[in-house]
Each structure stands twice: as C-alpha cells, then as structure tokens.
Amino acid sequence: MTNEMTPIRLGTRRSRLAVAQSGTVARELERVSGRPVELVQITSEGDTNRASLASLGGAGVFATRLREALRAGECDILVHSLKDLPVEQPPGLVIAATPPRADARDVVITRDGITLDELPPGSRIGTGSPRRMAQVRRANPQAAVHDLRGNIDSRMGRVRDDELDAVILAAAGLVRTGSDDAEIPTVAGLSVEPRVLSSWPTAAGQAALAVETLTDADPQLLAWLGELDAPLTRFAVTLERAVLGGIEAGCHAPVGIHAQTSDGTVHVRAGVYDDESHNDVTLDHSERLDGFESLIEGYIQARGSGAAADSSGLTVRAREIGSELARRLLRYGAADIVNREAAPSS
C-alpha cells in the first residue's frame, strides 16, 4: 500500500444489490484500516446478457470479468456473492474474508399473502434457479414455473403488475437492499413468506459474501481483510461448497445445501433434485465437532495471512465433512441426477 490516504479500490458489479453489499464491506474495511475505500463498478457479461444463466455457463459468469479487473490492477479487492463463485479457486487469487453470513433463507413474494403451498393451480411462479424451480414443484406441483432474470426490483415489479403470482428471492438480498435490520424488511404492497431451511435448503454459500484479492497482495491489506472474516461462516460455507464440489455439481445446479453450527454441533441439510421428485436425493446430518473451539482459535490466528487460513484445521475439517457427505449423496444416486443435468440437450 502507498500511503494512508490512498483509497483501497473495491471492485463490484453494478447492480443495486452488489453495490449495497460491497458498501457494507467497504465501511467495515474503512473502520479496521483507517483508509478510504472507493467502489469500482465493473460490468460483467451476466449483467448485460439476458439469456438464462445456464446457457451462459452458470452463475460463475458474474465473477469472470471482475477477476480480470483484479488481475489487471483495476482494483485491489473484489466482493462477490459467494453462491456465484465456482467451487474451484483460480490460481493467484484467494478468498481473504467471509464476513458474517446474513439470512440464508429463500422467500416467496406474493401480492396477497397466500403461501406458496396454497397458491391455486396454474399460479405463475418466477425464478431463474433450477434448484428453486424444483423446490417450487415439490411444494406446489400444480404451479406454472417461469424462468426469470433481472434485479430484485424488476422481479418484484412483475408480481406487483400481475405478470406473475409469485417470485422466489433470497432473503439476504432484501435485507441488504431494503433494511439495516437483521430481519427481512416489509416489501411495500407485497407479502413475504420465508421458507424453512430444514425443508428448503438454499444454494451453497447463499447469503455469504466473499472478499477476494491476489494471493500476493500486500500483507497489511490481507491482515485488514482478516479482521472482517467470520470463522463460523467460513466453516459452514466451506463445508457446503465441499459437498457441491464432491458431487461435481456447478454453482447453478439443482442442489440445495445448508450447514449451521450450534453448541459445537454441525447440522447439515442437502437435497439434489431430479426431474421426477421420487428420484430426489436428500440427506440430513448432525455431527458433534470435538475440539471445535480450538479449531476456531487456530483459524483466527491464521486468518489475515491469505492462503494459510484456507489450510487451517477449521477449513480442513469442514472440507472433510463436506467430502464425506458428498460421497454419501453419490452413493444414494446423486451422480445420476447431476450427470443428466450437465448433459447437453438434444
């Protein structure tokens, strides 16, 4: 870093949600560093091309242009929605911080407060996520699912304008763009129905942010970013992404996976969704984490050192559990579903 008045440049997508969540990280980084942080807005192909994410190569399309900007020296750090990042970390880059996770649930937005399960046959439900499409069909087989792209406001506008009867959104997006509170904000004129994670697991890493920089970034910058890192969030999302990687499913596959810890025990719910619901593969797992406090202490000592934190005992344990759960899912039949989803259509 040059001098204390030189801004730290934070690269972000241009959407209202991306700018809002990047602004949250910027304020925290200013607090811990004493340095100004400026946002560098970057346009990706995923922001300008209205084709489905699957046809563009998955949600990782959002990260490609940002990472090019980081490598080119256009910015010093990036802030991503972690669920948009491919599991495989590219050489030369490191996720230096995962700040505390927001509300990981999905929510159903409707005009009149009727729950998703009770919407009448033929109700038009909008979502661009294959996972959410499958979960909607499980909850209400008579609903008509419509592929949907666009920002939060445009999606909710289609419900308000009676083009759709409901849309499925991430609770974290509503919180980050509409409220400073930890609770889901009230959406003017629309009703919000949170789904329950125990029966509706969301995308790996949903509601978590990833602060990414160069592996050989300035040690002081890495140390500042380390202070933004939340060990419990890192553990949970590392486990979730290990499951996703273990079954060789992309970040836009019809897979829901959510992990959380309480009192030294990790609880995991996973679902791999087939075209036919009776072929779904689901898994519930709880495991006592012996020595968990010591693993957290070791991680806190290692964070801020870039790649070292990613090889700490805490993250290694998360990957071990995630990999074992992936093997169980594969034994139960997840491989057949994922392979069919990945096969090109005729």
The answer to whether residue 181 scores a pLDDT higher than 50 is: no
Structure tokens at 76: 């010093």
pLDDT reported for residue 333: 94
pLDDT reported for residue 43: 85
Map residue 56 onto helix, strand or coil.
helix
The answer to whether residue 183 scores a pLDDT higher than 60 is: no
Sign of CA dihedral 213, 233, 137, 175: negative
Mean pLDDT within 37-42: 97
Q: What is the mean pLDDT of the chain?
A: 90
pLDDT reported for residue 345: 47
User: What is the share, in percent, of the chain residues with pLDDT greater than 70?
Assistant: 89
pLDDT reported for residue 147: 94
Single out the residue of 168, 147, 136, 131 nearest to residue 256, CA to CA. Answer: 131
The answer to whether residue 215 scores a pLDDT higher than 80 is: yes
More confident residue, 177 or 116: 116
| pLDDT digits 0-9 by tens, 271-325 | 999 999 999 999 999 999 999 999 999 999 988 877 777 789 999 999 999 999 9
Mean pLDDT within 255-283: 96
3 strand-pairing partners: none
Mean pLDDT within 113-134: 96
Round to whole Å and give the CA distance between 255 and 342.
Answer: 13
Could you give the residue range(s) of every CATH 3.40.190.10 domain in the chain? 8-102+204-342, 106-194
Round to whole Å and give the CA distance between 253 and 194.
Answer: 22
What is the edge-to-edge ordering of all strands in the sheet holding 77-81? 37-42, 8-13, 77-81, 209-214, 93-97
pLDDT reported for residue 293: 95
What is 8-102+204-342's CATH number, 1.10.3720.10, 3.40.50.300, 3.40.190.10, 3.90.79.10? 3.40.190.10
Structure tokens at 43: 């346009």
Sign of CA dihedral 13, 75, 29, 224: positive
167 strand-pairing partners: 109, 126
The answer to whether residue 66 scores a pLDDT higher than 50 is: yes
pLDDT reported for residue 230: 96
The answer to whether residue 343 scores a pLDDT higher than 70 is: no
pLDDT reported for residue 305: 79
pLDDT reported for residue 68: 95
144-146 and 255-262: which strand pairing?
unpaired
**Domain covering 106-194 in this structure, CATH number:** 3.40.190.10
Ramachandran region of residue 122, left (φ > 0), alpha (ψ -120 to 50) or beta? left
Q: How many residues does the chain have?
A: 346
Helix (H) or strand (E) holding 260: strand 255-262
How many Cβ atoms sit within 10 Å of the Cβ of residue 181?
A: 8
The answer to whether residue 56 scores a pLDDT higher than 50 is: no
Mean pLDDT within 200-215: 97
The answer to whether residue 256 scores a pLDDT higher than 70 is: yes
Round to whole Å and give the CA distance between 312 and 315.
Answer: 6
Mean pLDDT within 175-203: 80
| pLDDT digits 0-9 by tens, 184-193 | 655 767 999 9
Cβ within 8 Å of residue 268, ≥6 positions away: 239, 243, 257, 258, 259, 283, 284, 285, 286, 287, 321, 325
